[in-house]
Structure 1
Amino acid sequence: MKLCVVVLGLLLACGAASVQASVWQPSAGHTQIPLWPGKAPNLQAVPGPERADTNPTSLIGGKTVTAIRNVSQPTMTVYSPAGRNTGAAVVVFPGGGFEILAIDLEGTEVCDWLTAKGVTCIVVKYRVPGAPYDWHCDCRPRNLKPSVPSLQDAQRALRLVRSRARQWHVDPHKIGVLGFSAGGFLVAETSTLYKHRFYEPVDEADKESARPDFALAIYPGHLATDSNTMNGDIPVTGDTPPTFILQAEDDHVDGVHQAQVYYEALKKADVPTEMHLYAHGGHAFGLRPTSNPITHWPSLAETWLGTIGMIPTDGE
């Protein structure tokens, strides 16, 4: 699996003088909340200080992409609906091959969509780069292991959201996950490994469940082996939450087999599942408008969320 060849080719080419580097901050009125009260568990050295790079010459959907790298202090940022609040919440994992985080393309822009629909949105800035993943090699499809420390951050984020559900006007039984590419793999991990605690409890929040109530995996990666079998580190069972999967047939980064293998595993376990495959769309399109029909996927996701009872359906 040559994960994120396209995205990382765009976002990791940050040695050019045109790249603007800074420390990422959310928009005004939103504050990053540390995931951990002290140092994160299993903290590993990163290649340099955390920074956010925006290359004006690399565009997706006619816009630049901001890539966060060298995250050692994971956070989450909460975006609450300005109007009607459905009580549902979605924890978002941006993609980037466990090397960077496409924080706007696959993070804050998702919240623009969800909050407009009355859904609380939480963007997780999880730790990257993350062992054992190394985008420089083709080693990842073999002997894959849970993406600690990224999975630790993901589980912690879910527990924190549940612990603060009343404060944020969220229904603790309507908390889901959504992720793109590598973030889609985190969606699968949190959906199947929630009974396994990957860190020692640090406070009262860790008494909460880390199981998502629903999941959306958008052009997910790491789910299939070279032989097109299910990644053995993703133990799908009948308790895996209802899942929405989206991928393009011409995704040459993760490949359509990623979605197909996961879908088959979910169906075999009788998990309520909906998958949409489109002929064109490629990889790393996020929610940005294109001429491809796949660009309308958010409306499909909204309908699906209504059918599983997470948000009101039209007319309600």
Structure 2
Amino acid sequence: MKKILLATIMTSLTAFAFANPALPLWPEGVPGARAIGAEQLSDGRISNVSEPTLTVFRPAVDRPNGTAVIICPGGGYVRLSAEREGAQYANWLGTLGVTTFVLKYRMAEFGHPAPLQDVLRAVRMVRSRAKEFGVDPSRVGVMGSSAGGHLAASAGTLFDHAAGRTGAALDAISGKPDFLMLLYPVIAMEGPAVHAGSRKALLGSSPTAETVQLMSVERQVSAATPPTLLIHTQEDQAVPVENSILFYQALTRAKVPAEMYLFEHGGHGMGMKDGLGTASEWPRRAEEWLRGRGLLSAGK
């Protein structure tokens, strides 16, 4: 089964670049648009994004179940690991009947709040066009890895914040995800667990204390935060495991349903690599979590 899945994944970048439709996130014009030079694509990574998009991956099974997942690739808010933490996840989720959307979002060239605006716009777009995509508007989740995990967690905590709105008509649609899946996420923006690179790329060299607190998303968890799955490892030397622990503790205090898997082996950016002991089995744990929440059964 794993060999078949890996064979599918090997063709994912070609599909990502050519076959799967990439929808403009802001057809009416990107908020705060400015010229930053040409977008770059190298080794499955995208950088210098000025035109955010959603790339659609239809389920690979005959009967889609109606669940949608918006995937936010990681890359420290300076690049997007669009193949390893985007298309690979999309192909895997497609085998489970899930319709996925890989988000190409703005990063350091724009800074906060551009990424937040992009991810909430993605949720609103998918929800507003649910019938067209064949998904249930009440089953729209966001998944993210590393800095993409921070962006996904931001969507799950700041979905009503003014910074995520642009005055567009779609602002009237809820931007709140129905569930979150966070893999080795950046969470804290200060303290010993902070990932300094992501903080600088997102907030700049001298952010205000107010902005740092706002984007330390463990501080923004409330009872309204959606159910969350967290996956992290002890061996992660880039984004300490304490990031996931902080978020899990905040979810628990707020009585938000949450499940967390902390593995011994597997460094940062492990994606779906083999040979990492039990950490390589995280997709099975994630599938069990999705199934247990009724997200893999046929929807409305």
Q: TM-score, normalised by structure 2?
A: 0.82
Q: Distance in 1 between matches of 2:277 and 2:175?
A: 36
Once the two structures are TM-superposed, the CA of residue 40 in structure 1 deviates from its matched residue by 1.1
Equivalent residue in structure 1 for 2:245, among 257, 260, 263: 260
CA 1:94–1:34 in structure 2 vs 1: closer, same or farther (change >3 Å)? same
Q: How does 1:155-304 map to 2 (within 5 A)?
A: 155-197=120-162, 198-203=164-169, 205-223=170-188, 225-227=190-192, 232-233=213-214, 234=217, 235-304=220-289
The alignment partner of 2:142 has SS state of: strand
In structure 1, the partner of 2:4 is none
In structure 2, the partner of 1:69 is 47
Once the two structures are TM-superposed, the CA of residue 116 in structure 1 deviates from its matched residue by 0.8
Once the two structures are TM-superposed, the CA of residue 271 in structure 1 deviates from its matched residue by 0.5
Paired residues of 2:187 and 2:244 also in contact (CA < 8 A)? no
**Structure 1, residues 43-66: CA drift from partner, whole Å, max 9, x if none?**
3553x3101012xxxxxxxxxxx1
Paired residues of 1:241 and 1:271 also in contact (CA < 8 A)? yes
Q: How many residues end up aligned between the 2 structures?
A: 263
Equivalent residue in structure 2 for 1:127, among 106, 109, 112: 106
The alignment partner of 1:167 has SS state of: helix
Q: Distance in 2 between matches of 1:86 and 1:122?
A: 15
In structure 2, the partner of 1:81 is 59
Equivalent residue in structure 2 for 1:107, among 64, 86, 91: 86
Structure with higher helix content? 2
Once the two structures are TM-superposed, the CA of residue 77 in structure 1 deviates from its matched residue by 0.7
Q: Distance in 1 between matches of 2:14 and 2:188?
A: 30
Q: Which runs of 5+ in 2 are unaligned?
A: 1-12, 195-211
| 2:97 is aligned with 1:118 | yes
Q: How does 1:17-96 map to 2 (within 5 A)?
A: 26-46=16-36, 48-54=37-43, 66-82=44-60, 83-96=62-75
**Structure 1, residues 56-113: CA drift from partner, whole Å, max 9, x if none?**
xxxxxxxxxx110100000001111132211100000000000000000000111110
Paired residues of 2:165 and 2:171 also in contact (CA < 8 A)? no
Once the two structures are TM-superposed, the CA of residue 27 in structure 1 deviates from its matched residue by 4.5
Paired residues of 1:130 and 1:150 also in contact (CA < 8 A)? no
Structure 1 runs of 4+ aligned residues shifted over 2 Å read: 23-29, 42-46, 128-132, 197-203, 222-225, 288-292
Structure with higher strand content? 1
- Please provide the CA RMSD for this pair: 2.1
Once the two structures are TM-superposed, the CA of residue 306 in structure 1 deviates from its matched residue by 1.5
Letter in 2 for 1:185: H
Determine what percentage of the aligned residue pairs are the same residue: 38
Q: TM-score, normalised by structure 1?
A: 0.78
